[in-house]
Amino acid sequence: MTIVNGIPFDELYTMEVYQLRETGEFSDLSVSVNETELKLHKFPMISKSGYFRQLPQDQDVVTIDNFPGGVTTFNMVADFCYNIDIKITKENVLLLRCAAEVLKMTSPTNLIEITDKYINDMMTSAKLSRSINTVVDLLTQACSLGDVAEKAGVTNTCIEAMVDTLVRTTIYSPSISRFGITRRENECLEKVEKLPFEIFLLVLKKARDQDVSSTLLAKLVQRYIAKLLHIEDEKAEPSDKDSGHEEEEVDASIEVQTNDTSTAQEDFIKIEQLNESDTESNNTGAVNEQSTNNDSKESKAKDTVEPNVNHLVESILSEVPENTPFSDVVSTDWAARVLNVAGSFDGKCRDMLIKLASQTLHKFKSDDLIKLEPTLMIEVMESAKNNLNLPPAVVCRVVDDYLLGIAQAGAFSVEVFVTVAKLVPDEDRVNCDILYDAMETLLKTDQISITDEERTALHKMVDFSKVNEKTLQKAFVTKVVPCEYVTKAAIDLCAKLREELANAKSLIKIQDRELREISMGSYTLDASLGINDISIKDKDVYDIERRTPDHTPISPYSSSKSSYSSRHSPRVSPSASTFQIAHGYAEPRLLAGFDSADPYRSTSGISSTAYSYLYGHKKYPRY
């Protein structure tokens, strides 16, 4: 019996290729993968791999460094070359695809074709089920694989699938949270913000060019900028992990049968977990512990911002459309923190951040405003006025609230106070009540010294003709301004009240004259009403309807003269339309032209007194 390497020749003849892989017998190829040596055979490797096929025939030792997935993935690829069944899952499919790219396994039914089909099936399933988690996980893994994943085309495939899934999620997902973002979208945001900058920028561009919701687009940018600037939004939406709406993962595990006569490998070789240290390295120096003091948070954020982060932020904001609704997704707390960090930037990035944050200016409260430095506040206000066309009332309210806040803090000079106050032109101020409160607070403070000239400048800054009686009384009691300011304002107020009273009297006279004109005018009854040309002029008064004290109607054609009717029933000579009103032929509100929102205001010039008379006679039929 012939013996070859200790194995009988008859047994060697009947051995399958996969058995040679298990035993390592008759190895004629040594492959070193990441410093780990593997004993293989040339024939099975050459039959499936173009990489080994291109090696010189006499080369028995091959060294491969930086192999995707390391030794574990290479062993799975080697098993595939030996016709051993391997199990492809969503965790290892990208590693196998990139490994096949390196080893040039391009022939039909080879590993590249199999893994590509698996990836496409996963993407299709994710799009149909709107499973954004699956796509983002694959994209994150593709990013960690670097250039080989881009060369294999899987990175671009994942990006396109992700954007398409975002579109479908935005259109069809009904689970809207109280922050306007769906639960699926929020889960996506948490994963997208961990993507490397270059990949995120590609996702942003594709999302912008397709039909992704502008609100979701704004949220993507807001979350990623917060990551770059190390800003945590205290008012951010709560996590939806505990909401009970976790999506079902796509069932993605298939077994590739490469040899019908062989048995499947029982044990599945677990793929080592991807190290996320590369994607998290950008967070070096971030704040790990939250401080309850807002100022300390902001100073830490400034200290941890990388030197080139302004370029990254500028690149992101440059790709965002002008009409992106940041005001719908950005809280005032987040905007205030961004503004304080932006204070350390220069150039275009600073202007972009100020413009972004100024979109939420109308939502700022006093507590949010006082976090801003005066110089930054001035830039924000100018940006808001130039780019957002805010109503003067909103600008005035924000400026006055800010002035009141810094006056209470007492940390700024009178010059700064006056400069900020001048952001609102005098003609745009409807009232100066809050401005007076801010000025009074500043004048009463002991934290800064105020000269007589500065005190006078503060006095002149307030237009006392635009304050109410309560503010005037307060100014009179506190004595923080000279009496002549209060006296002049009181005189102006008296003049204003006199003018209003005179206008009211004039209006009453006009209404009374209108009533007399209706009562003493002339009319001709419309023949269509069945009454033949009755004309009454001057003092030949026609009583269109008279009532006795018990409200019994009397025919207008009766010859009897009731002293009650002559005294109590107005004698009118209406036009044809007025006659119709009085006798119930028409709606007086329509003919008289009265405003439906205000029954006492006429749009046609007829006074409310005349209207009440006509309307009161409408319900009585004529005889």
Same domain, yes or no: 247 and 306:
no
Mean of the per-residue pLDDT values of the chain: 71
CA distance 194 to 136: 10
Same domain, yes or no: 428 and 569:
no
Backbone φ and ψ of 40, nearest 5°: -130, -175
Say which CATH number the domain at 74 has: 3.30.710.10
Could you tell me which residue, 484 or 251, shows the higher pLDDT? 484
Is residue 342 very low, low, confident or very high in pLDDT (cuts 50, 70, 90)?
A: confident
Same domain, yes or no: 251 and 350:
no
> Per mean pLDDT, which range of 201-205, 266-270, 305-309, 457-461 is the poorest?
266-270
* Among 79-83, 320-324, 359-363, 598-602, the range of highest mean pLDDT: 79-83
Same domain, yes or no: 188 and 114:
yes
Please give the full DSSP string across 252-263, using - where no structure is assigned.
-EEEE---TTSP
β-partners of residue 39 are 30
Q: Among 385, 375, 393, 319, which Cα is nearest to 352's?
A: 319
Same domain, yes or no: 115 and 54:
yes
Tokens representing 118 are 């698996």
**Domain annotation covers residue 504:** no
CA distance 213 to 223: 15
Pairing, β 36-40 against β 7-8: unpaired
Task: Report pLDDT digits (tens) over 152-180.
Answer: 998 888 888 888 877 765 544 444 444 44
Task: Report pLDDT digits (tens) over 16-40.
Answer: 666 777 766 778 889 999 888 888 8
CA distance 205 to 208: 5
Same domain, yes or no: 308 and 239:
no
Same domain, yes or no: 94 and 171:
yes
Task: Report pLDDT digits (tens) over 187-231.
Answer: 667 777 878 888 888 888 888 888 777 888 888 888 888 888 887
Same domain, yes or no: 91 and 221:
yes
CA distance 384 to 343: 17
**Domain annotation covers residue 184:** yes
Same domain, yes or no: 115 and 240:
yes
Cβ within 8 Å of residue 509, ≥6 positions away = none
Tokens representing 194 are 């961990």
First to last CA, the chain: 140
Provide the number of structural domains found in the chain.
Answer: 3
**Domain annotation covers residue 279:** no
Please give the full DSSP string across 370-402, using - where no structure is assigned.
TTS-HHHHHHHHHHHHHHT---HHHHHHHHHHH
Could you tell me which residue, 350 or 551, shows the higher pLDDT? 350
Same domain, yes or no: 315 and 247:
no
Is residue 72 very low, low, confident or very high in pLDDT (cuts 50, 70, 90)?
A: very high
* pLDDT reading at 444 higher than 60: yes
Q: What is the per-residue pLDDT for 182?
A: 56
Task: Report pLDDT digits (tens) over 519-574.
Answer: 775 444 444 444 444 444 433 343 444 444 444 444 444 444 444 444 444 444 44
Q: Do residues 80 and 86 lie in contact, with contact meaning Cβ atoms separated by under 8 Å?
A: yes
Burial of 611 (0-12, 13-18, 19+ CB in 10 A): buried
% of the chain at pLDDT higher than 90: 11
**Domain annotation covers residue 6:** no
**Domain annotation covers residue 242:** yes
CA distance 589 to 581: 9
* pLDDT reading at 135 higher than 70: yes
Q: Among 335, 348, 345, 269, which Cα is nearest to 89's?
A: 269
**Domain annotation covers residue 267:** no
Q: Can you give the residue range of the structural domain that contains 224?
A: 25-256
Q: Side-chain half-sphere of 487: how many Cα atoms within 13 Å? A: 3
Q: What is the pTM of this model?
A: 0.57
Mean pLDDT of 356-361: 80
3-state SS, one letter per residue, for 451-474: CHHHHHHHHHHCCHHHCCHHHHHH
CA distance 508 to 293: 63
Q: Determine what percent of the chain falls in helix, strand and coil, rounding each to the nearest 5.
A: 55, 5, 40
Q: What is the per-residue pLDDT for 481?
A: 87
List C-alpha distances in Å: 518 to 510, 522, 523, 556, 576. Answer: 12, 8, 10, 18, 12
Same domain, yes or no: 104 and 241:
yes
Could you tell me which residue, 309 or 121, shows the higher pLDDT? 121
The helix (H) or strand (E) run that includes residue 502 is helix 483-520
Q: Do residues 78 and 49 lie in contact, with contact meaning Cβ atoms separated by under 8 Å?
A: no
What is the torsion angle, in degrees rounded to the nearest 10, for the CA atoms of residue 333, residue 335, residue 341 and residue 347?
-170
Could you tell me which residue, 380 or 291, shows the higher pLDDT? 380
Q: Do residues 365 and 389 lie in contact, with contact meaning Cβ atoms separated by under 8 Å?
A: no
**Domain annotation covers residue 487:** no
Under DSSP, is residue 523 helix (H, G, I), strand (E, B) or coil? strand
Same domain, yes or no: 35 and 178:
yes
**Domain annotation covers residue 290:** no
Mean pLDDT of 272-295: 37
* Among 151-160, 223-232, 335-344, 598-607, the range of highest mean pLDDT: 151-160
